[in-house]
Amino acid sequence: MSRPAHSPFRDGFAALWHEPALFAAELTWRWCFGLAAWGLAIISLALFLDSLKISAGDEILFGTLQPYLLVGVVRHIFRGSLNRFLGEQTVLLFGLTLLWAFAATAGRAATLRRLVAMFSADEEPRTMSRQFTSVLVLNLLRAMWTQISLMAVIVSLMVGILMSHQQRAALAALWLGFGIGLSWAFGVMLNWFFGLAPLFCIRNGAGAAEALAQSVDFSSRQAGRLFGLGIAFGMLRLVWAGTMFLAFFAPLRLAHHVARGWIALLMAIVALVYFAGTDFLYLARLGAYVALAEDDAYLQMHGEDLAGPAPLTDATTAIAPA
């Protein structure tokens, strides 16, 4: 017997309406990591700049503001310090990657655990392990692959520019077109699967490799509906970004009437509202994926083929807004 029809898109927002604490938890771990990352980056840069030695001659040349003299001064100041700076930034990047992986694992496991419980069709409550290690491995792989794909894009861009300077138009086009395009495409594709796989760690108790395989199978079975959800949430993100873009620069109209500090504060508040709205939409999309995964499991179990919208579980009926 089929269950009543519903929309995972609607259920994603209904879950947040029913459980506002989910949004608060998402903002907490994301913004705490963001503040920590920016703080460490600023401190690292400040310590490096404080370690540089500027002679009296360098200060005099700086005062001339002549471009060709400034280039020589900068080279003199940073001579022998570039390798140390790159080493410090490498250590910082490694530390931030580990920090993000642990923060994302703790936050995502808690969020998914609650969402899966809300959308579960089981009549009896089941024990769902947090699978912290498996989710941590997936997040580390996701971060590593993102960095690899980004480096591939940068290398392709640099090689393409070098080929163009050497008058090798065909090779330049190959690196700039296919190199950057393929690096970006593979980066987005694997990032998608790594981001979806923790759902199956929490829902099915799967290990990292098994969860990744299940995410691929799920995506192949529900490709059309996942594509529709991606378009719907993508349009919402686009409208939200456009609205906040206009709101971000609106305080500049008050430049002749309000102090610059207040204008900067207003722009910062708008930026924070934008980031909060973006996190809200991401969490709603995650809820939609959980609802769709529950529907997919129901269809796999009962062998049904519903032509209409996905079936609605009893749990999502309870959380749907009136």
DSSP letter string over 80-136? Answer: TTHHHHHHHHHHHHHHHHHHHHHHHHHHHHHHHHHHHHHH---SS-------HHHHH
Q: What is the pLDDT of residue 210?
A: 92
Q: What is the pLDDT of residue 60?
A: 65
Tell me the one-letter amino acid at 305.
Answer: D
- pLDDT, average across residues 1-15: 75
Q: What is the pLDDT of residue 76?
A: 65
Choice among 71-75, 287-291, 306-310 with the minimum mean pLDDT: 306-310
User: Do the Cβ atoms of 123 and 41 come closer than 8 Å?
Assistant: no
- pLDDT, average across residues 258-281: 91
Per cent of the chain over pLDDT 70 is 80
- Residue 308 pLDDT level (bands cut at 50, 70, 90): very low
Specify if 162 maps to a domain: no
pLDDT at 310 over 50: no
- Residue 188 pLDDT level (bands cut at 50, 70, 90): confident
Cα–Cα distance measured from residue 154 to residue 126, given in angstroms and rounded to the nearest whole number: 47
Specify if 104 maps to a domain: yes
pTM given for the model: 0.80
Q: Which of 71, 70, 72, 78 is nearest to 54 (CA)?
A: 78
Q: Which two tokens stand for residue 231?
A: 């378009």
Residues 197-216 pLDDT 10s: 999 999 888 888 999 999 99
Specify if 158 maps to a domain: no
pLDDT at 90 over 90: no
Specify if 164 maps to a domain: no
- Residue 242 pLDDT level (bands cut at 50, 70, 90): very high
Specify if 227 maps to a domain: yes
Cα–Cα distance measured from residue 61 to residue 72, given in angstroms and rounded to the nearest whole number: 9
pLDDT at 233 over 90: yes
Q: What is the pLDDT of residue 304?
A: 52
Q: What is the pLDDT of residue 251?
A: 85
In the chain, the number of structural domains is 1
User: DSSP state, 311?
Assistant: B
The dihedral built from the CA positions of residue 246, 250, 251 and 252, taken in this order, carries a sign that is positive
User: Do the Cβ atoms of 126 and 153 come closer than 8 Å?
Assistant: no
**How much of the chain is in helix, strand and coil states, percent to nearest 5?**
85, 0, 15
- pLDDT, average across residues 75-102: 81
Residues 12-55 pLDDT 10s: 999 999 888 999 988 999 999 999 999 988 988 888 777 777 66
Cα–Cα distance measured from residue 25 to residue 36, given in angstroms and rounded to the nearest whole number: 17
Residue 111's domain spans which residues?
8-128+207-319
Cα–Cα distance measured from residue 112 to residue 119, given in angstroms and rounded to the nearest whole number: 10
Q: Which of 30, 210, 29 is nearest to 137 (CA)?
A: 210
Q: What's phi and psi for 277, nearest 5 deg?
A: -65, -35
Strand partners, 5: 311
The dihedral built from the CA positions of residue 188, 190, 195 and 196, taken in this order, carries a sign that is positive
- pLDDT, average across residues 88-112: 89
Specify if 294 maps to a domain: yes
- Residue 73 pLDDT level (bands cut at 50, 70, 90): low
Instruction: 276-280: list long-range contacts, CB under 8 Å, 24+ apart.
Output: 276/27, 277/240, 277/244, 278/237, 278/240, 278/241, 279/23, 279/26, 279/27, 279/30, 280/16, 280/23
313 vs 277: which has the higher pLDDT: 277
Q: Which of 207, 25, 205 is nearest to 108 (CA)?
A: 25
Specify if 13 maps to a domain: yes
Q: Which two tokens stand for residue 142?
A: 């996701």
User: Do the Cβ atoms of 22 and 111 come closer than 8 Å?
Assistant: yes
191 vs 54: which has the higher pLDDT: 191
Q: What is the pLDDT of residue 5?
A: 54
Specify if 18 maps to a domain: yes
Please state, rounded to an integer, the average pLDDT across all residues of the chain: 81
